[in-house]
């Protein structure tokens, strides 16, 4: 009886624990995930020799080696990683310090959240101000390949893998502050800034601005410090872009499971960029 | 045992709740910033991406972004092929309007507009600029409501919504500290405390404007009477079938119709076409309001423009929009330059001035 009781308790507990797995990794078409899934290796973030895409990947280093078929190692390591979670295996981008801040106007005017009215801890800061680096968090990790300058195959734990290309060369996929022909971080959506109720209220109060809200959908997430990062919209594990009917890359808010790109897109923007139909306009056509 | 079942149940129910996509419960349909014409999915099937294309999300208000749909047919076809523009839209070529000689010079400034700028401008040395987004709110603009969503006049620290078109124009053409030399404060010209003004801010003060053509009227007497006007009644495209609004025009002053303001010229319907749109040419030339109207306008051999004696916006000093153009009209030998009206709206008065060599000291009517 006691034993039975324990089993029930244990099963109940297990149910609870497993139900808490992140929703974004459950119920996703496995062929969109990083390799070793039914032999599909076309996820651009699969950098192993097995990858079938045309981007950078490991060079085949002989039949006896498994080093060139590893997938996770490019970002994660169980030992010897950086202090940053999750078990992070990337060095800082070599361009740290020169990434431009989002700039929404002339003479390097910052966006409203840069205004002095927002306290130093909750605004968007240039590199190192108040001890906060820029970019920070997950964005910094993404840029350790997507700056087009940091070697992809040189990991933080000392492992080095020879790659077919040492850096990303597709200019549409990189943000190199020293190369004007790549994406300009100053004009893309701002990242690495604290976005909390204070900031949202502040931007909403700017002339001509609509109402800004905090995201509630768990697929559109701020990081642990309430910062907006690349990962707010993108999930680096799930390759959602099929090149035809669904072109949003690594889209985190994948509720339509590939059926309705526009709905997923709108639902993402609409998490923060909202209008409650208040003065001076009354919403219609929504 | 009951307890066990409860614990199990709690576990499964809790798990089940979390396995449901919470997004379904949270999804707030219609929580979007896009409203008005640009919020119409028939027109912009890909919503935000129509303008915020690719990774370049920041738009600084430069006109090229707008020209993708509001420019040439070629540009529009590109947008249609990319699935960014719906088929149902009937769009004018606004870019062409902005190539006309008299226009809001959107192409002249780059990177000057700032989304947080506060107008009217308070800095004397601030650069003058205009971009599409200074008159149109791209997220809110709607058919027949071109400036929907724009905020207008500042009242202390508060900026209210724009209700009348002139409030939008006044953002740059009234109390701006950086008005160019020779530009006037339009609010000062139209304000209701003036002796006379065209009825933009309010109905006019003169109840006897004899030359008015129907449906225009000094006061509302019959349904359909028009007693007020807007800036764009006079300022706008010279192409009657083209896009409305003061984007550009071939006529000086960004006017919809021709208005000659020079001296020494023959009268014709075309010369003062703008005025004759509302003011009956026959009435004016038959001297219904002023016995010497025809003499002044037609002259002998050449007359002078309406502009020589009238200011189309308003006059802070005199009735009947009288404000002399001092490039043509000069003071009398003893230094007087004055119009004296007899009473209010009596159509009698006298002038003290010197014009085309004729001393009026005074000349009465």
Q: Mean pLDDT, chain A, as a whole number?
A: 78
Window 125-184 of B, Cβ < 8 Å to A: 137, 139-140, 142, 148-151, 159-162
Q: Tokens at residue B332, please?
A: 């009398």
- Answer yes or no: do B80 and B140 share one domain: no
SS (H, E, C) chain B: CHHHHHHHHHHHHHHHHHHCCHHHHHCCCCCCCCCHHHHCCCCCCCHHHHCCCCCCCCCCCCHHHHHHHHCCHHHHHHHHHCCCCCCCCCCCCHHHHCCCCEECCCCCCCCCCCCCCCCCCCCCCCCCCCCHHHCCCCCCCECCECCCCCEEEEECCEEEECCCHHHHHHHHHCCCCCCCCCCCCHHHHHCCCCCEECCCCCCCCCCCCCCECCCECCCCCCCCCECCCCHHHHECCCCCCCCCCCCEECEHHHECCCCCCCCCECCCCCCCHHHHCCECHHHHHCCCCCCCHHHHHHCCCCECCHHHHECCCEECCCCCCECCCCCCEECCCCCCCEEEECCCCCCCEEEEEEECCEEEEEEEC
- For the whole prediction, is pTM greater than 0.85? no
Range of the domain at B50: 37-95
> At A7, which helix (H) or strand (E)?
helix A2-19
Q: Cβ of B33 and A273 within 8 Å?
A: yes
Mark whether B82 and B125 lie in a shared domain: no
B149 near A281, Cβ under 8 Å? Answer: yes
Contact at CB, B139 and A275, closer than 8 angstroms:
yes
CB contact under 8 A, B56 and A13: no
Nearest to A188 among B8, B56, B116 (CB): B56
Give CA–CA dist A66/A196, Å, rounded.
Answer: 45
A283 shares contact with chain B (CB less than 8 Å) = yes
A170 interface with B at CB cutoff 8 Å? no
Q: Are residues B112 and B167 in the same domain?
A: yes
Question: In the prediction, which pLDDT does A279 show?
Answer: 36
- Nearest by CB: A19 against B19, B113, B151: B19
- Decide which of B158 and B283 is more confident: B283
Residue B85 lies in a domain: yes
| pLDDT confidence band for A123 (50 / 70 / 90) | low
Instruction: Tell me how far apart the alpha carbons of residues B266 and B299 are, in angstroms, rounded to a whole number.
Output: 7
**Among residues 134-153 of chain A, which lie with CB inside 8 Å of chain B?**
none
Query: Where would I find the beta strands (DSSP E) of chain A?
Result: 193-194, 211-212, 227-228, 273-274
- Which residue of chain B comes nearest to A213, CA vs CA? B31
CB contact under 8 A, A207 and B161: no
The domain boundary, picked from B95, B116, B143, lies at: B95
Sign of CA dihedral B233, B234, B240, B243: negative
pLDDT at B263 over 60: yes
Residue B67 domain-assigned? yes
Q: Are residues B113 and B163 in the same domain?
A: yes
Using alpha carbons only, give the angle B29, B30, B33 rounded to the nearest 5 degrees: 140
| Chain B touched by A183 (CB under 8 Å) | yes
- Please state the domain count of chain B: 2
Higher pLDDT, B44 or B58: B44
Residues B46 and B74 reside in one and the same domain: yes
Å from B12 to nearest chain A CA?
A: 6
How far is Cα B250 from Cα B253, in angstroms, rounded to an integer?
Answer: 9
Q: Which two tokens stand for residue B100?
A: 């006309």
Using the beta-carbon criterion (under 8 Å), do A285 and B39 form an inter-chain contact? Answer: yes
Count Cβ–Cβ pairs < 8 Å, chain A vs chain B. Answer: 160
What residues have CB less than 8 Å from B226, skipping those under 6 apart? B215, B216, B217
> Which pLDDT value is given to residue B216?
96
From B147's Cα to the closest Cα of chain A, the distance in A is 11
Of residues A19, A217, A283, nearest to B18 (C-beta) = A19
Residues with Cβ within 8 Å of B21's Cβ and at least 6 positions away in sequence, in order, are A23, A255
Domain contains B220: no
pLDDT given at position A133:
75
* Nearest-CB residue to B149 (from A9, A281, A286): A281
Give one word for A123, left, alpha or beta, with left for phi > 0 and alpha for psi -120 to 50: beta
Query: Looking at the DSSP assignment, which residues form a beta bridge with residue B303?
Result: B265
Cα angle B332-B337-B343, degrees, rounded to a multiple of 5: 125
Question: Is residue B114 one of the residues assigned to a domain?
Answer: yes
- Same-domain check for residues B128 and B147: yes
For residue range A220-246, what is the model confidence (pLDDT) as tens digits?
Answer: 999 988 889 999 999 999 999 998 999
pLDDT at B355 over 90: yes
The last residue of one of the domains, among B152, B183, B214, is: B183
Choose one of B130, B165, B183: the last residue of a domain. B183
* Residue in chain A lying closest to B111 (CA): A106
Q: Does any CB of chain B come closer than 8 Å to the CB of residue A116?
A: no
- The beta-carbon neighbor of A255 closest among B23, B47, B149 is B23
What the block records as the tokens of B324 is 């002399």
The pLDDT confidence band at residue A60, using thresholds 50, 70 and 90, is: confident
Tokens coding B268:
């014709």
Portion 72-111 of A in contact with B at CB < 8 A: 102-106, 109
Confidence band for B154, pLDDT divided at 50, 70 and 90: low
Same domain (yes/no): B133, B165: yes
Torsion of CA A102, A107, A111, A114, to 10 degrees: 100
**Is residue B355 assigned to a domain?**
no
**Domain assignment present for B214:** no
Does residue B125 share a domain with residue B58?
no
Calculate helix-pair angle for B2-19, A2-19, nearest 10 degrees. 10
Strand partners, A228: A193
How large is the average pLDDT for residues A71-76? 92
Tokens at residue A210, please? Answer: 């609509």
pLDDT in tens, B160-175: 778 899 999 999 999 9
Q: Report if residue B112 sits inside a domain.
A: yes
Q: What is the pLDDT of residue B274?
A: 97
Q: Given the DSSP bridges, would you call strands B151-155 and B196-197 parallel, antiparallel or unpaired? A: unpaired
Q: Which residues on chain B are in Cβ contact (under 8 Å) with A186?
A: 58
Q: For the CA atoms of chain B, what is the radius of gyration?
A: 28
Residues of A in contact with B11 (CB under 8 A): 11-16
Predicted local confidence at residue A109, as pLDDT: 37
Residue B262 domain flag = no
Name the helix (H) or strand (E) containing A75: none
Q: Are A141 and A75 in contact (CB under 8 A)?
A: yes
């Amino acid at each position: 009886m006691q034993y039975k009781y324990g089993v029930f308790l244990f099963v109940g507990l297990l149910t609870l624990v497993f139900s808490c797995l992140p929703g974004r990794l459950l119920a996703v078409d496995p062929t969109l995930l990083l390799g070793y899934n039914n032999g599909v290796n076309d996820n651009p973030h699969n950098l192993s020799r097995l990858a079938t895409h045309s981007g950078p990947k490991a060079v085949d280093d002989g039949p006896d080696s498994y080093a060139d078929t590893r997938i996770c190692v490019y970002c994660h390591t169980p030992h010897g990683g950086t202090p940053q979670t999750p078990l992070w295996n990337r060095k800082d981008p070599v361009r740290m310090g020169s990434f431009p801040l989002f700039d929404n106007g002339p003479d390097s005017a910052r966006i409203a959240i840069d205004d002095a009215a927002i306290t130093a801890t909750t605004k968007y800061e240039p590199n190192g101000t108040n001890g906060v680096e820029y970019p920070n968090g997950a964005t910094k990790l993404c840029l350790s390949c997507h700056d087009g300058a940091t070697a992809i195959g040189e990991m933080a734990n000392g492992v080095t893998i020879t790659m077919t290309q040492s850096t990303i060369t597709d200019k549409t996929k990189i943000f190199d502050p020293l190369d004007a022909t790549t994406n300009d971080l100053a004009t893309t959506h701002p990242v690495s800034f604290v976005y909390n109720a204070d900031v949202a209220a502040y931007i909403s109060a700017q002339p001509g601005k609509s109402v800004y809200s905090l995201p509630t959908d768990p697929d559109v997430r701020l990081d642990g410090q309430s910062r907006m990062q690349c990962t707010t919209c993108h999930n680096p594990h799930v390759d959602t872009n099929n090149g035809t009917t669904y072109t949003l890359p690594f889209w985190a808010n994948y509720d339509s499971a590939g059926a309705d790109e526009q709905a997923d897109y709108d639902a993402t923007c609409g998490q923060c960029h909202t209008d409650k139909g208040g003065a001076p306009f009354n919403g219609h056509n929504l | 045992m009951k307890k066990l079942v409860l614990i199990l149940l709690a576990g499964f129910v809790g798990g089940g709740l979390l396995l449901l996509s919470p997004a379904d419960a949270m999804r707030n349909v219609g929580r979007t910033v896009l409203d008005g014409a640009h919020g119409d999915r028939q027109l912009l099937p890909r919503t935000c991406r129509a303008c915020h294309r690719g990774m370049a999300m920041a738009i600084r208000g430069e006109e090229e972004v707008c020209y993708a749909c509001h420019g040439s047919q070629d540009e529009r076809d590109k947008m249609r092929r990319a699935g960014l523009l719906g088929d149902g839209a009937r769009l004018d070529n606004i870019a062409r309007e902005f190539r006309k000689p008299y226009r809001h010079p959107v192409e002249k400034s780059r990177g000057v507009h700032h989304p947080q700028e506060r107008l009217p401008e308070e800095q004397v040395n601030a650069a003058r600029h205009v971009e599409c987004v200074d008159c149109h709110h791209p997220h809110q603009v709607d058919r027949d409501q071109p400036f929907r969503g724009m905020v207008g006049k500042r009242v202390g620290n508060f900026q209210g919504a724009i209700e009348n078109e002139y409030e939008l124009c006044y953002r740059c053409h009234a109390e701006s500290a950086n008005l160019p030399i020779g530009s006037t404060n339009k609010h000062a010209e139209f304000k209701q405390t003036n002796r006379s003004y065209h009825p933009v801010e309010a109905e006019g003060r003169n109840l006897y404007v004899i030359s008015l053509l129907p449906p225009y009227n000094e006061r509302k007497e019959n349904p359909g009477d028009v007693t007020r006007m807007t800036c764009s009644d006079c300022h706008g495209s010279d192409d009657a079938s083209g896009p409305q609004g003061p984007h550009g025009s071939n006529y000086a002053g960004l006017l919809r119709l021709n208005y000659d303001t020079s001296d020494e010229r023959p009268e014709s319907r075309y010369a003062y076409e703008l005025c004759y749109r509302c003011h009956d040419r026959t009435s004016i030339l038959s001297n219904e309001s002023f016995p010497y109207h025809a003499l002044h306008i037609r002259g002998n051999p050449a007359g002078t423009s309406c502009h020589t004696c009238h200011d189309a916006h308003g006059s802070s000093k005199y009735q009947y929009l009288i404000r002399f153009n001092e490039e043509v009209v000069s003071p009398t030998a003893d230094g007087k330059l004055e119009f004296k009206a007899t009473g209010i709206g009596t159509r009698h008065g006298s002038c003290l001035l010197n014009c085309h060599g004729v001393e009026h000291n005074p000349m009465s009517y």
